[in-house]
Amino acid sequence: MIQRTVLSLVMTLLMTAAAMAQPRVEVAVDDLTHPWGMALLPEGDLLVTERPGRLLQLNPDTGERRVIGNSPAVVARGQGGLLDIALHPQFEDNRWVYLTWAGACESGSATHLGRGKLGDGELTDFETLLVAEPCVSSGRHFGSRLVFDRDGHLYLTTGDRGQRDRSQDPHDLNGAVLRLHDDGDIPADNPFADGEAGHPAIYSFGHRNPQGATLHPVTGAVWIHEHGPRGGDEINLPASGENFGWPLMTHGREYHGPEIGPDTLPGMVDPIHHWTPSIAPSGMLFYTGDAFPHWQGHLFVGALVQTHLARLELDGTTVVTEDRLLEDRGRRIRAVEQGPDGAILLLTDHADGELLRLTPRDH
């Protein structure tokens, strides 16, 4: 009898601990149309992109929204449309907002990068800074995450556009991580700055379709993740001039079954972590807030196909534990950010998309 009582108490404590580990989930804003990227304004509002082409300013507390005018015209076909958004590191002084989108060009579409100044309900002085040529008719794999490093360099990820061999051509702006100054100029210390061995804007290549990018809060290094095919989603640390292997090496397989290439090859950079089978990662955040002190330093990644929020605990660059949150909601998590109060903010990529706010449960 005593043993059964002790066992029951232990099971109750374990279930209580598991429940407390799950955050409270609030739908802060609903009725969004395939939201893709978000950026937190200093006053607490969010700028949110919707893939069909709208840029919204949202109040996450009241749900109030308005459309920001003069956003770029997009090609909303396949995986394309209005994609990521980032604020300039000195946004409060210069008001620059950076956008990526699938835009029309002579032979189809390409990932575009541009910026404009956020005024009263519109972007002004909008300019296109880069077009990831060559343009093609494909509607796939635009990549498109943006992140500024601590030196003010802007990193842009581009996908292989569904034409995998392009990732191994260092003169092709697709299937790569690009590194630019804030005005779109090329840094003199980029690995191919002279244009001889590769395109001057390219920082690293051999990527498939990176849709997550963030800075490590301690080292300041840029981290990305990218979609594999059937398995082989990867977390990578871009390095100057390095080749990350796609499609010559991958943990993934063809969608119809056969192996694509070996898991590793000499002279190419291995991922620090991979998901096989694929979770279809999108959005990426190192958590630094006080709302969840036991999660500080953990990496959060949204999952589109397996519809959850992955929480990864790290020892340096080694993943030591991985947990899945929000599996029961069945929502495609596209973007992950941290609110000013330490809440975790998520966008769900659906025709009836949501902005979700994660906060701790009461103890």
pLDDT at 107: 87
Residue 10 inside a domain? The answer is no
Residue 275 inside a domain? The answer is yes
Residue 137 inside a domain? The answer is yes
pLDDT at 362: 74
Residue 243 inside a domain? The answer is yes
Q: What is the CATH number of the domain that holds 337?
A: 2.120.10.30
Q: Is 199 a known active-site residue? A: no
DSSP assignment of 204-270, as one string? EE--S-EEEEEE-TTT--EEEEE--SBS-EEEE---TT-B--TTTS-S-B-TTS-B-S-S--TTSPP
Q: What is the pLDDT along the chain (363 residues), one digit of tens a residue?
A: 555 554 444 343 333 344 446 899 999 999 999 999 999 999 999 999 999 999 999 999 999 999 999 999 999 999 999 999 999 999 999 999 999 999 999 889 999 999 999 999 999 999 999 999 999 999 999 999 999 999 999 999 999 999 999 999 999 999 999 999 999 999 999 999 999 999 999 999 999 999 999 999 999 999 999 999 999 999 999 999 999 999 999 999 999 999 999 999 999 999 999 999 999 999 999 999 999 999 999 999 999 999 999 999 999 999 999 999 999 999 999 999 999 999 999 999 999 999 999 999 974
Task: Tell me phi and psi for residue 21, to 5 degrees.
Answer: -70, -20
pLDDT at 5: 54
Any idea what DSSP says for residue 122? B
Residue 30 inside a domain? The answer is yes
DSSP assignment of 5-45, as one string? HHHHHHHHHHHHHHHHHSPEEEEEEEEESSEEEEEE-TTS-
Residue 259 inside a domain? The answer is yes
Domain region containing 126: 26-359
Q: Give the count of domains, the chain.
A: 1
Q: Out of 141, 225, 274, 298, which one is annotated catalytic?
A: 141
Residue 2 inside a domain? The answer is no
Structure tokens at 89: 């590191």
pLDDT at 7: 44
Residue 130 inside a domain? The answer is yes
